[in-house]
């Protein structure tokens, strides 16, 4: 394959401009480039036809579980990554300080998909897949965190799961520990919310600008909404401070009803992620594109759902080379179609909607090459 390419005839979605227009995209040596620069190279320009398709910066899924074999529900990275039009995935806490080395060797270095990681604040990560924060002796120390973040470039933050089944008697203490680690290293925390305790009234005040709340729109009791459909004050304050809500669909963490109510009153942008793993990749999650399709059926625009998996996700974890179409950045592109056929889509509460159109991956370009 030549080192020069033009993706042509597609409808290009630029998430930074919030616009869709017919446009060609140039690629030189794995980076995005102006068309004139590519044409100036003369011969051997590869032409990639995107007719009838949309072209966007490579999609980013902020919440997946791809620690295959070591965590029993871990799914193969490329299966939920490049094969589904997702060029960057972030594993959310499957690995901890003790087993990140294995994760790096087995997953990060063996995948075509860019694999990043929110490191679990528990040494063992999700290798036991339950109650990893119930024993305080499992918590990573500041020294360990400083050591591993200094040498591992694919670590983007910490993961702390704040559900009663995970923390047991520890309550809010593990999140206070995560706060201390994140302050020391200066990276975001991704906090999973679920069944209390701890309650969101204790969780949200510990979060700062830059942090992420995954499973934000779950349908369980004690969520982000009051009975009158307004946000609980702690959630409203967190959003005002610059905390990001993230979908993290998962097996039991996304409710059409919650997102509908949120959308009625609030327009604060959020990120869309799947929390995909072996137990939910068929149902109810499907894929990142099917998750995005659910939001479109609920009234969000194509531009909005693409922003939620590109620029917004990239900026939150400090990626400057992804999520954008700026010349000179990494040529990761997702080419997809919108298929107009009635499709039943389900949330984590077992509620189904009939979508009249769904996104479908067509071609994935990673570092300038068709995968
Ligand atoms: Zn998860």
Which pLDDT value is given to residue 72?
A: 84
Distance from the alpha carbon of residue 36 to the mean position of ligand 1, in angstroms: 44
CA of 65 to the centre of ligand 1 (A): 6
pLDDT at residue 67 in the model: 97
Q: How far apart are CA 164 and CA 193, in angstroms?
A: 10
Residue 87 CA, ligand 1 centroid: distance in Å: 19
Q: How far is the CA of 51 from the centre of ligand 1 (A)?
A: 36
Low-confidence ranges of the chain (pLDDT < 70): 1-2
CA of 62 to the centre of ligand 1 (A): 10
Q: In the CATH hierarchy, which top-level class contains the domain 58-316?
A: alpha beta
> Residue 237 C-alpha to ligand 1 middle, in angstroms?
24
How do 11-14 and 54-57 pair as beta strands? parallel
CA of 271 to the centre of ligand 1 (A): 15
Q: Are 35 and 357 in contact (CB under 8 A)?
A: no
Same fold, 4-55+328-370 and 58-316: no
> What number of helices (H) and strands (E) belong to the chain?
12, 19
Choose among 227, 179, 229, 231: nearest CA to 200.
Answer: 231
CATH 2.30.40.10 fits 4-55+328-370, yes or no: yes
Report CA(2)–ligand 1 centroid distance (Å).
39
15, 29, 63, 285: CA torsion to nearest 10: 80
Q: What distance in angstroms lies between residue 186's CA and the mean position of ligand 1's atoms?
A: 22
Q: Who contacts 35 (Cβ-Cβ below 8 Å, separation ≥6)?
A: 6, 24, 25, 26
β-bridge partners, 358: 339
The alpha carbon of 291 and the centre of ligand 1 are apart by a number of angstroms equal to 15
Omega before 74 cis (within 30°)?
A: no
Return the domain boundaries, the chain.
Answer: 4-55+328-370, 58-316
The alpha carbon of 64 and the centre of ligand 1 are apart by a number of angstroms equal to 6
Q: How far is the CA of 253 from the centre of ligand 1 (A)?
A: 9
Q: Half-sphere exposure of 75 toward its Cβ, with a 13 Å CA cutoff?
A: 23
pLDDT at 2: 56
Cβ-based burial of 159 (10 A; exposed 0-12, middle 13-18, buried ≥19): buried
**Beta strands 54-57 and 333-339: pairing type?**
antiparallel
Q: Measured in angstroms, how far is the CA atom of residue 324 from the centroid of ligand 1? A: 26
Q: For residues 133, 136, 140 and 142, what is the CA-based torsion angle, rounded to 10 degrees?
A: 130
Going from the Cα of 275 to the center of ligand 1, the distance in angstroms, rounded, reads 5
Distance from residue 331's CA to the centre of ligand 1 (Å): 28
State how far the alpha carbon of 319 is from the alpha carbons of 118, 312, 370, in Å. 14, 10, 22
**Cα 249 from Cα 310, distance rounded (Å):** 17
Buried b (16+ CB within 10 A) or exposed e, 100-127: beebbebbbeebbbbbbbbbbbbbbbbb
């Amino acid at each position: 394959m030549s080192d020069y390419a033009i993706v042509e005839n597609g409808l290009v979605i630029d998430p930074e401009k919030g616009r869709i227009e017919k446009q060609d995209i140039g690629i030189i040596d794995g980076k995005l480039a102006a068309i004139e620069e590519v044409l100036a190279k003369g011969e051997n320009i590869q032409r990639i036809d995107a007719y009838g398709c949309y072209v966007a910066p490579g999609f980013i899924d902020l919440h997946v579980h791809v620690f295959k074999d070591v965590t029993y529900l871990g799914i193969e990275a490329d299966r939920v990554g490049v094969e589904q039009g997702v060029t960057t995935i972030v594993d959310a806490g499957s690995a901890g300080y003790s087993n990140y080395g294995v994760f790096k060797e087995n997953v990060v270095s063996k995948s075509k998909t860019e694999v990043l990681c929110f490191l679990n604040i528990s040494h063992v990560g999700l290798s036991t897949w339950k109650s990893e924060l119930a024993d305080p002796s499992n918590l990573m120390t500041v020294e360990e965190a400083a050591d591993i973040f200094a040498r591992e470039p694919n670590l983007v933050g910490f993961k702390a799961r704040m559900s009663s089944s995970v923390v047991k008697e520890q309550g809010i203490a593990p999140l206070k520990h995560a706060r201390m680690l994140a302050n020391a290293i200066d990276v975001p925390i991704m906090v999973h919310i679920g069944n209390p305790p701890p309650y969101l009234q204790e969780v949200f005040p510990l979060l700062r600008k830059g942090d992420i709340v995954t499973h934000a729109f779950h349908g369980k009791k004690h969520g982000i909404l009051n009975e009158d459909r307004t946000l609980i004050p702690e959630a409203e304050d967190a959003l005002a401070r610059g905390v990001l809500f993230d979908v993290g669909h998962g097996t039991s963490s996304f409710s059409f009803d919650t997102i509908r109510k949120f959308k009625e009153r609030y327009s604060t942008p959020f990120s869309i992620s799947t929390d995909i793993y072996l137990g939910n990749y068929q149902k109810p999650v499907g894929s990142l594109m099917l998750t995005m399709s659910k939001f479109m059926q609920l009234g969000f625009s194509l531009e909005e759902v693409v922003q939620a998996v590109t620029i917004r996700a990239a900026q939150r974890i400090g990626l400057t080379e992804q999520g954008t179409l700026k010349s000179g950045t990494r040529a990761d592109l997702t080419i997809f179609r919108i298929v107009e056929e009635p499709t039943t889509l389900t949330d984590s509460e077992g509620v189904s909607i009939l979508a009249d159109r769904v996104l479908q991956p067509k071609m994935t370009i990673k570092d300038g090459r068709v995968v």
